Amino acid sequence: MMRTVEAHALRVSAGSRRLLDDVSLVALPGEAVALVGPNGAGKSTLLRALSGEIAPSRGMVRLEGRDLRACSPDLLALRRAFLPQVVATAFPFTVREIVAMGVGGRRDGKADAWVDAALAEVDLDGFQDRRMDTLSIGERQRAHFARVLVQLSYGESREGPGLLLLDEPTSSLDLKHQLGIMAAARRRTDAGTTVIAVLHDLNLAALFARRIVVLRNGRVAADGPPRRTITDAVLAETFGVVSAVNRVPGDATPFVLPQTAGLSS
Amino acid sequence: MTQSIAREEPTRTCAARPRRRVVRPWLLPGLVLALLAIMLAAASVGAAGLSPTRIAAALGLSASHVDPALVERDRLVLWSIRLPRIATATLVGSLLASGGAIMQGLFRNPLADPALVGVSSGGALAAAATIVVGDRLFGGQHGEVPSAILPLAAFGGALCATWILYRIATRTGRTSMAVFLLAGLAVAALANAGLGLLVLLADDRQLRDVTFWLLGSLNGATWWKATMLAPFPVALFISVPFLARDLDRWSLGEAEAFHMGTDTQRLKRFCIILVSAMVGAAVSLAGIIAFVGIVVPHLLRLAAGPGHRLLLPASACLGAGLLLAADTCARTLAAPAEIPIGILTSLVGAPIFLALLLRQRTGFDP
């Protein structure tokens, strides 16, 4: 099977500090991968390196077999979409104008349909004529998620299932919309899209992803299904938190309770 | 499930809705019509008043019942004085306003202005240097600098300032717009210091020339000058489709524009070259004319939203109309004397701008 994205021995440096060191990661079509780890572990850096936004000082990233450095921004935008943590909008665009930026210059019925569908998917239908700067932070985050979905739909309509990169897509959302956004991402994986998401909520990660990659100090500390990566041993090593993991009897999915956790000394 | 959870205040959705949508389809046609009306008015007022029928007769548009000698005189007034000046004012206005719109998009700041970042100052310094120093080099005792050299020097000065800024702000193939803006302020300050020195060195006649040029004027417009400006709006209109798309994306930030498929370095380079050429050309022929580049795009953003597909051509039209109206006032209000147009635009533009700020204080901070 063609690998959607393949990072090989990535190193990303800022000055003398190594943000990522010897990180390798392969993701297949339809795979849902969660990136977790403590603050400053390199999760966002890895995501931005996978998107082509920052160039690694060593190693390389391939997107569907093609070296990222050889791809034009145009081509990349058709094959992968990226949701950043925070977006500052300089001018008072409306929600619909922002979401429609995902389709590039295309203006026709199909583009309108994608925009409508994406707005409905993030529960913002009825907000389309609102100015972005009048929305709450969480609503803005959902609007940008819709924009990214539209970009993905546009690219996939031309070249088949692509790659969706999400940097903390639920950080400002209430519980209902956290679940809604992750469900929308999962629906995309059912259609063949590869989704890689940075998540801070380990429970959401275990619920969403069949595979969790744990980063620590710019290196991969663990990589595998939730039951092997969300364990007391891994959490103690990476987060410095002990006995936080619990399991529902009869179900393999682990869950984390802050109430049972302690800080390792 | 969704029924039990109340939607977040759906009533608020109506707030910003209707106006933009109503305005948009009519905006460009309306601006073009207004521009044509201003052109007609500008052609008819002046030292020799011309009624629309006489204009039509002089242009050969209607079978005239007017005295042929009068038609001949009107034709001379129109073709060699009024029309070249109208064409120049229209082009300068459109370049200043759309240049301002692009620059604001590029800096993601509604207050960015070509005058702020050294483009105009570089042109002004070169023009003043030509007047003061060039006089001694070329002119001998009483001579003046040949009239073609002044615009060329100003244009060169504007481009040169931009080139310096671009080199300063670009490291390893990436241009930092923040560095560009800061360096621009420094270059503008330097250029102004140079201007001050030149003013000290200048004799009375040179001083008058420099001052007149700094205050802006369309006096002495010719067909030749108008023709030199014409390629720039054409270049703008050709590039609007992709430029508008990329500037829209750019307003979400450089990384986001890249993720949506924009070659950000190429966009920056293209905009910087285009704006400095456009503004440099306008400054070189008309001197420094303030506020058109800020007020016009701002008004249009309020009326029709910030989307650049409409904003860029609409800015060109409205800028053209406003500058033509200002120039017509400049040459008629105190006739036979002429008010420098830069004074007029600042005098009218600044209070309008303040009034807008007072009326609508939201939407500037991200």
Nearest chain A alpha carbon to B365: A90
Q: Where are the domains of chain B?
A: 84-353
B7:A126 CB<8 A: yes
- What is the per-residue pLDDT across B180-205, written as a single tens digit (0 to 9) for each? 888 888 888 898 899 899 888 888 88
Note the pLDDT of residue B262: 93
Mean pLDDT of B325-347: 87
Identify which of B13, B262, B363 has the shortest CB distance to residue A129: B13
* Residues of chain A below pLDDT 50: none
A131:B258 CB<8 A: no
Distance to chain A for B246, nearest Cα, Å: 9
pLDDT at B145 exceeding the cut of 70: no
Q: Does B255 touch chain A (CB under 8 A)?
A: yes
pLDDT at B2 exceeding the cut of 60: no
- What is the per-residue pLDDT across B81-120, written as a single tens digit (0 to 9) for each? 889 999 999 999 999 999 999 999 988 888 788 776 778 8
> For the structural domain made of B84-353, what CATH number should be given?
1.10.3470.10
pLDDT band with cut points at 50, 70 and 90 for residue B9: very low
Could you tell me how many CB contacts below 8 A there are between chain A and chain B?
A: 98
- Averaged confidence pLDDT in chain B: 82
What is the crossing angle of helices B204-215 and B177-201, to 10°? Answer: 150
Whole-number Å distance between alpha carbons of A192 and A207: 19
Whole-number Å distance between alpha carbons of B170 and B175: 4
Mean pLDDT of B343-347: 87
B260:A134 CB<8 A: no
Whether residue B317 contacts residue B31, with contact meaning beta carbons closer than 8 Å, is answered with yes
Q: Which helix (H) or strand (E) covers residue A47, if one does?
A: helix A43-51
CB atoms within 10 A of CB A116: 16
pLDDT band with cut points at 50, 70 and 90 for residue B138: low
Whole-number Å distance between alpha carbons of B328 and A229: 76
pLDDT band with cut points at 50, 70 and 90 for residue B303: confident
Distance to chain A for B237, nearest Cα, Å: 16
A94:B20 CB<8 A: yes
Identify which of B12, B21, B262 has the shortest CB distance to residue A73: B262
Question: Which residues of chain A does B108 touch, with a Cβ-Cβ cutoff of 8 Å?
Answer: 90-91
The type of residue at B198 is L
Largest Cα span, chain B? 91
Q: Does B22 touch chain A (CB under 8 A)?
A: no
> Closest Cα to residue A90, out of B359, B185, B106?
B106
Whole-number Å distance between alpha carbons of A47 and A80: 12
Identify which of B110, B245, B363 has the shortest CB distance to residue A104: B245
Q: Where are the domains of chain A?
A: 5-263
For strand A211-216 and strand A32-36, is the pairing parallel, antiparallel, or unpaired? parallel
In the 3-class helix/strand/coil scheme, how is chain B assigned residue by residue?
CHHHCCCCCHHHHHCCHHHHHHHHHHHHHHHHHHHHHHHHHHHHCCCCCCCHHHHHHHCCCCCCCCCHHHHHHHHHHHHHHHHHHHHHHHHHHHHHHHHHHHHHHHHCCCCCCCCCCCHHHHHHHHHHHHHHHHHHHHHCCCCCCCCCHHHHHHHHHHHHHHHHHHHHHEECCEECHHHHHHHHHHHHHHHHHHHHHHHHHCCHHHHHHHHHHHHCCCCCCCHHHHHHHCHHHHHHHHHHHHHHHHHHHHCCCHHHHHHCCCCHHHHHHHHHHHHHHHHHHHHHHHCCCCCHHHHHHHHHHHHHCCCHHHHHHHHHHHHHHHHHHHHHHHHHCCCCCCCCHHHHHHHHHHHHHHHHHHHCCCCCCC
**Global pTM value:** 0.88
For A104, the token pair is: 């590039």
> Closest Cα to residue B113, out of B124, B125, B102?
B102
In the block, tokens 């959490």 appear at A235
Mean pLDDT of B273-284: 87
Interface subset of A 86-115, CB within 8 angstroms of B: 87-94, 97-98, 101-102, 104-105
pLDDT at B23 exceeding the cut of 60: yes
> For the structural domain made of A5-263, what CATH number should be given?
3.40.50.300
* Complex ipTM: 0.93
- What is the per-residue pLDDT across B33-90, written as a single tens digit (0 to 9) for each? 999 999 999 988 877 777 777 877 777 777 666 677 787 888 888 888 889 999 999 9
The type of residue at A168 is E
Dihedral class, residue B305 (left if φ above 0, else alpha if ψ from -120 to 50, else beta): left
Whether residue B187 contacts residue B164, with contact meaning beta carbons closer than 8 Å, is answered with yes
Identify which of A78, A90, A130 has the shortest CB distance to residue B251: A90
